[in-house]
Copies of this chain bind each other. A is one copy, B any other.
Amino acid sequence: MAATLPVFMNEYKEVLEKELKKLIIGLQAPEVLKQAMDYSLQAGGKRIRPMLIFATLASFRKDPKIGLEAAAALEMIHTYSLIHDDLPSMDDDDLRRGQPTNHKVFGEAAAILAGDALLTYAFQVVAQSVCYSNEQKVTLIEWLAAAAGPEGMVAGQMADIEGETKELMLAELEYIHKNKTGRLLAYSVMAGALLAGAGENQLKHFQEYAFHIGLAFQIRDDILDIEGSEEKIGKRVGSDTVNHKSTYPSLLTMKGAKARLNEHADFAREALRQTNTESTLLFELVDLIVTRDQ
């Protein structure tokens, strides 16, 4: 339980990636579909969302592996959203984490289908689990769909596309990020807390924590698009400025954005204290989100 975050993340990243591999290999599906799903699932990243599930379980002294299937499903949903976001008619990105995007490798039709397949399979994985009770499954699925669907991530993505061509108010920018990134990050924490058996009041504080790290995550993203290293991020920087996209630094100045970032980090830490759990890893995750350079 006393593992520090880097050790913990290395261990569970491997566990998660093995599980994802296993879940795809076992599918009775056309080979090219499996390859396209696997390609993006294995394209790496820090797996922040699964880590939030695992670390939340650890903060209750529960075995993080209880969250494995929920984490795999969540990572499938996150991955589908990246595949569809990168499509020519959406953000039209050729690179993701330094690798060619899914449609560049498999073509646009296969990329759309791989995204659809991952999204659908995510719910199947939770429903088929032998680890969770029916009540837990139904709550996980309801929360996950609400966080990812038309009242969550897809709403944010739609608002983002609509907002691309105009200067946004801060409230509009926050709506986009709360939904596009925040809801799924929040779900991660809530899923971990649910599986750990958290009480009503604890769930409320975890939700507060998740809300603030979600916004902190996005502000850091905007800052990295200006100050980050292309090599580390694995994609072009400066694209927001070139595209005249509203960001936290463009609306608040860089100094203001950094102050806002630290405010959200402080609120997240405060919420965490209120949960009365041993949340060393979740505190370290706040620091990671605030200081990450990729």
Stretch at the interface among A5-13, A64-72, A133-141, A224-232: A133-141
- Does A237 interact with chain B (Cβ within 8 Å)? no
Q: Does B120 lie within 8 Å of A150, measured CB to CB? A: yes
| Total contacting residues, chain A, CB less than 8 A | 48
Q: Does B138 lie within 8 Å of A134, measured CB to CB? A: yes
* Chain B residues whose CB sits within 8 angstroms of the CB of A154 once the complex forms: 29, 33, 113, 116-117, 120
- Does A55 interact with chain B (Cβ within 8 Å)? no
Q: Does A142 lie within 8 Å of B124, measured CB to CB? A: yes
Question: Which chain B residue shows the least CB distance to A136?
Answer: B134
- Does A112 interact with chain B (Cβ within 8 Å)? yes
A244 smallest CB distance to B (angstroms): 18
Complex CA distance for A128 and B148, rounded to whole angstroms = 15
* Chain B residues whose CB sits within 8 angstroms of the CB of A158 once the complex forms: 29-30, 32-33, 110, 113
Complex CA distance for A146 and B29, rounded to whole angstroms = 11
Question: Which chain B residue shows the least CB distance to A159?
Answer: B30
A30 smallest CB distance to B (angstroms): 5
Question: Which chain B residue shows the least CB distance to A87?
Answer: B112
The interface residues of chain A, by DSSP majority, are classed as: helix
- Does A93 interact with chain B (Cβ within 8 Å)? no
Tell me the residues in window 128-173 of chain A with beta carbons closer than 8 Å to chain B beta carbons: 128, 134-135, 137-138, 141-142, 145-146, 148-151, 154-155, 157-159, 161-162
Interface residue from B34, B109, B162 paired with A30 (Cβ < 8 Å): B162
Interface residue from B138, B146, B157 paired with A113 (Cβ < 8 Å): B157
Given the known A-B contacts A134-B134, A138-B138, A142-B127, are A151 and B28 also in contact in the complex, defined by CB atoms under 8 Å? Answer: yes
* Chain B residues whose CB sits within 8 angstroms of the CB of A124 once the complex forms: 141-142, 145-146, 149
* Chain B residues whose CB sits within 8 angstroms of the CB of A29 once the complex forms: 150-151, 154-155, 158
Given the known A-B contacts A28-B151, A145-B120, A158-B30, are A109 and B90 also in contact in the complex, defined by CB atoms under 8 Å? Answer: yes
Contact flags (1/0) for A2-46 with B, using CB distance below 8 Å? Answer: 000000000000000000000000011110111001000000000
Give me the interface of A with B, judged by CB distance under 8 Å: 27-30, 32-34, 37, 80, 84, 87, 89-90, 107-110, 112-113, 115-117, 119-121, 123-124, 127-128, 134-135, 137-138, 141-142, 145-146, 148-151, 154-155, 157-159, 161-162
Q: List 11 A-B contacts (CB under 8 A).
A: A28-B155, A29-B155, A30-B158, A30-B162, A33-B155, A90-B112, A116-B116, A121-B145, A124-B145, A127-B138, A134-B135
